[in-house]
Structure formats: C-alpha cells, structure tokens
Chain A
Amino acid sequence: MAINCNMDSQTTPLNYSIETENLNLWYGDFQALIDVNVKIPDGQITSLIGPSGCGKSTLLRCFNRVNERYGNVTTEGKIEVLGKNIYDSDVSLPELRKTVGMVFQRPNPLPISVYENILFGLRIHSPVGHLTRAESDQIVEEALTSVFLWDDLKDRLKVRATSLQLEQQQKLCIARLLPLKPRVILMDEPCSALDAKGTLAVEELMEVLAGKYTFLIVTHNMAQARRVSKECIFMFLGELIEHRETQALFQTPQHPKTADYVQMRYG
C-alpha cells in the first residue's frame, strides 16, 4: 500500500499541478504502472526515484502524453493537469504540451541555430509572421538569460545548437520551453549525460526557476533528489510505494522497500 503522508505537516492546503487517480498503463501486455495515485504540488521540485524499469519515466511521460508516440500503449484512470483531465476529448495535444514542457535524458536541441531553437515553440504555436524581429530578439535574450546562457552565447546565436557543449545544450533545452510560458516542466534524468559541473549548473538553474514552474524530475541519483527536491516519490515495479517530503523519505522511510532502496541495499 502506498504511503502518502507528506501533507500531514502542512498547515496551509497546497495546490496541485498534477493529480492522478488509479492510473494504470500497459505497454502491450506488460503493465508498467499499477494504480498510481499521486498529487504533485504547485511551484516546487518533486523528484521521482526508484530502480531501473520501475515506471518512473513512464509516469513522467504520461503527464504530457508523450507516451502515446510508442503506439501500443493503453492508459486507464484519470490524470488531471491544472485541474483538467488530459484524456478528455476536448484537450488539445499541442496546448497540453505547451503547458507541460519536457526535458529529456540526452540533450536534444534541434539541428537548427540556437536562436531558432528558442523560438521553435512559439513558431509552431502561432501564425506565420506573428513575431517581429525585435520581439524575437527580446524573447531569445530573456530565455537565454533565465538559464544563464546569454553571456556565453550572445555572440553565437547563429551557430547550430547541436554543436554546443552538452551542458549548454541541456540548458538550451530548458530555455526553449520558457517562451511558451509552461506551468509544469518534466525532467527525465536531465543530468545523466552531464559531468559533475554541468549537473550542478542544471540543479542550480532548477532551484532558481522553481516557484515560477512546477518541476517533476526523474533521477537515478539519490544525492541529486536530496539536493534539489522538496518532495520525493519512490516507485517500485510500477507501483508508487512512498511519497513524502524528501528529507523524511530518506531519513525515516516508512516502507521497507523504500528503506532498502535509499540505504542502497539494491538499485
């Protein structure tokens, strides 16, 4: 049985960006998520931990429906993002993905210039010729400034984004979400391709941006979960085992499987 005791200590009621109810998901015959009930609070960083293949990434990928790319996926249950069930028929996929941005494990800037990468989202969501040159310039500068890349890249806006260093690429992937004014940013092991310095830089960036955005981060790195997240979710074999404040989950895990995992007896 899942243990959800993170809210007990809260005096003021929290708002939730994402809520799921009895979420089940199958890849073909294989059930990857089993009755997941979770509430992700607004404007803070929540981390998802657990051993490989436990369904962390699958859960994350439900929230912008990017799972559906793989064809043989069946989803049951309810997922509400900002109070709206995202499987309702009147939900527009482009709008959902505009609201719920995603950062991937390997930095995946598009093979176009830095400048165009930042504007890509706006261009696909607005009519042709919608942006003036001055507006575009300003948007690019703002987005790059918020991820601390402006000083490094202001003279290299025309270079191909795929030629940047990995750390810069990953920051750029975060920056290109910002012009769309997302409410939630999903991160699927965003630092696993980066070195220690890059990891630290991305973590610092998340801390600065938290508050404005709700972050949900999948990580294999327990130290990272402890450093960045306020709440932490432990998953095991498709089930949500424990969801509590991060420090509490690591110091006094309630479920024996959580305890085994955070004390590194396996995983």
Chain B
Amino acid sequence: MNILRKKSEANLPFSETVIETFIRLCGISSIIFVFGIFFFVFREGAGFLFNGLDLKEFLTSVEWQPTSLNNKRYGAFALIVGTFSVTVLAMCIAVPFGLGAAIFVSEFCSPKLRETFKIVIELLAAIPSVVWGFIGLTLMNQLIIVVFNAPIGLTMLNGGIMLALMSVPIIVSIAEDALKAVPDSYREAAEALGATRWQVVYRVLLPAAKNGLLAAVLLGAARSIGETMAVLMATGHSVNIPSGPLSWIRTLTATIAAELGEVARGDEHYQVLFIIGILLFTITFVVNLIADLVIKGIRQE
C-alpha cells in the first residue's frame, strides 16, 4: 500500500472523473455565458454603432423618434436621464430604509425576530418584477393621484418607490452580512467603555463596515438600473426630461422591452436598441466592478 502515491498515478474511479469534469464545466460555463451575451449584444449593435450612428446625438439629444418616416432621430439623452433619475430617487428611499433595516436586524432585534425578518426579506426579494409593476400601475397610481393631487400617478415617484422596494432586500442582506463581519470584539470593547448600543453602531460598526455597506448600496443601485418591467409599467413610459418626482419618464431598459418586439430585425432602430443594451451592460458592469473592488478592499484589511 502506498499512501504517498502521486495524484496522477492514482486510479480515480470513473464516476469521480465524470463528476469532476461536469463540475468544471459548470464553473466555466458562467464565464462563457457572460462573454457570449456580451458578444451577441455587441454584434447586433456594432454595425450601426461604428457606421451611421451619430454618437454625440445619441448621448445628448432628447429627440427619440425611431419610427418617424422622414425624420428618424436616435437621441437617448432623455432615456439616460430617466434611468438615472429614477435610480437616484429609488436609492434616496431604499438606502436609508435598507441600511436601517440591516442595522436593526443585525444589532438590535432578538435572534428569533431576526430569523422571521430574514425570511420576510427573502420573500420580498422573490416577488417577480411584473408584480411590482402591477402594484405600481394600480395601487400606487391611485395613491399618488390622491395624495399629491396629481393628474396621473404613473410617474418617476411611482417607479422610484417600486424600484426602492425591489432594491431594499438586496441592500439589507448584503449590508447585514457586512455588519455581521465586524468582529464582535469591537462591539465588546466599545460597550465595555460605556458606549450605548446606538453609539456602538455609529461610532464603531458603520466606520468598520463602510466598505461592505457601500457595496450593498452599489449592488442595490445596479439592480435598479437594470430593472425593466416595473419601471415600464409604473413610470408613464414617456420620453421626457423630468422636472420633478411627479414627472413621467422613460428608462433605457423599458425602451428596449417596449420596442424590440416591433422592429424589423437588422434595421437601424433594431441596432440602436442593441446599442442601448451595450450602454446598459457597460453601466451595470462598471457599478458591479466598483462594488466588487470595494468588497475586496474589505477582505484585504
């Protein structure tokens, strides 16, 4: 018997080899899929992107007239502003609530309550976005009309609230992990010096977990930017530079979802929608990358 036999000499059973190969393929496939999607989206849009599209007009003009017969315009500025404004509004609502909930769940509530909260928060994350859109279209629409005496409730505010509700679970779970990762010895040290629980939170935990909390916010924002169905249904879907929360807007994602079904494959409009896809891909990629780097920052400390 030779325990020290080299791995290559060992005769692994056939099933081991199969399983190992299968798992390896699973791992590699995620990389292939991401690059595959990027390649496909890029290929569909690339022709017009490099040949024909006025990039300056695309990024700065508010005229989005892709279906006009004699005056086609592909100005996506209003859509970009729409996406960013609704995301910023959503984050203004979601960040205080999300971080507050994370602090409560991680530091203040009893273990029993914590389990309940986590389940409820996971349920919140599991609600399909079309259901959120449905709530926005009916309930929130009426609510905004009544509360703000607005002519119509399908507005940036409506979409922002829906996106906030969708981002909160992500922010809560990642922020809670970040707070849980702060060594208990810090809490103990601060409490033994006489700090109250709230002082422990804002003088010790928030500074110590700030990278993780920032990552939570960024991933929540990435979720908001990429969300489609809820904003399509709740924001009014009208090309417009918003003047306030009660203006209607249209987002990049909703534009793709609403128009892609109606264009001829391969024509300019079709390709522009894919260019919007590239733009969205780039934005969320950058946000996720920043979040990743921020999280790595924590680990190295």
Interface set of A (CB-CB < 8 Å, partner B): 64, 66, 69, 93-98, 101-102, 104, 106, 108-112, 120-121, 123-125, 173, 176-177, 180
CB-based contact B188/A120 at 8 Å: no
Q: Can you list 30 A-B pairs with a CB-CB distance of less than 8 A?
A: A64-B192, A69-B188, A93-B196, A95-B194, A97-B191, A97-B192, A97-B194, A98-B193, A98-B194, A104-B185, A104-B188, A104-B192, A106-B185, A108-B188, A108-B189, A110-B186, A110-B189, A110-B204, A110-B208, A111-B186, A111-B208, A111-B301, A124-B193, A124-B195, A124-B199, A124-B203, A125-B194, A173-B189, A176-B193, A180-B193
CB of B203 within 8 A of CB of A120, answer yes
Interface of B is mostly: helix
CB distance from A230 to the nearest CB of B (A): 25
Count of interface residues, chain B, beta-carbon cutoff 8 Å: 18
- Taken together as a complex, chains A and B put the C-alpha atoms of A141 and B203 apart, in Å, by 22
CB pair B195–A102 under 8 Å, yes or no, is no
Known: A111-B186, A124-B203. A177 touches B191 (CB 8 A): no
Closest to B209 in A: A111
**CB closest residue in chain B, given A103:** B192
Which residues of B does A touch, CB under 8 Å? 185-196, 199, 203-204, 207-208, 301
- Measured in the bound complex, the distance between the Cα atoms of B192 and A177 in whole Å is 10
Query: Nearest Cβ distance between residue A104 and chain B, in whole angstroms?
Result: 7
> CB within 8 A of A108: which of B185, B196, B207?
B185
Does the CB pair B193–A97 fall under 8 Å? yes
Are the CB atoms of A66 and B199 closer together than 8 Å? no
A125 — which chain B residues lie within 8 A by C-beta?
194
Distance in angstroms from B198 CB to nearest chain A CB is 10
Q: How far is the CB of A59 from chain B (nearest CB, A)?
A: 16
Contacts A109-B189, A180-B194 known; 10 new A-B pairs at CB < 8 A: A66-B191, A66-B192, A69-B188, A93-B194, A96-B194, A97-B193, A104-B188, A110-B204, A111-B208, A180-B193
A111 touches B207 (CB 8 A): yes
A96 vs B191: C-alpha distance when bound (angstroms)? 11
Which residues in B have their C-beta under 8 angstroms from that of A93? 194, 196
Least distance between A69 CB and chain B CB atoms (Å)? 7
Residue of A nearest to B183 (CB): A108
Contacts of B191 in A (CB 8 A): 66, 69, 97
Q: A173 — which chain B residues lie within 8 A by C-beta?
A: 189
What residues on B are CB-neighbors of A176 within 8 Å? Answer: 193
Which residue in B186, B196, B203, B208 is a CB contact (below 8 Å) of A94?
Answer: B196
Q: In the bound complex, how far is the Cα of B207 from the Cα of A112, in angstroms? A: 8
Given A104-B188, A108-B185, A111-B186, are A177 and B208 neighbors across the interface (CB < 8 Å)?
Answer: no
CB pair A177 B193 closer than 8 Å: yes
Closest Cβ–Cβ distance, residue A157 to chain B (whole Å) = 17
Bound: A109/B177 CA distance, A:
22
List chain B residues, Cβ under 8 A from A124: 190, 193-196, 199, 203
Give B64 Cβ to nearest chain A Cβ, in Å: 49
* Complexed CA–CA distance, A66 and B191 (Å): 8
CA separation between A102 and B186, bound complex, in Å? 13
Residues of B within 8 A of A66 (CB): 188, 191-192
Q: Which residues of B contact A180 (CB under 8 A)?
A: 193-194
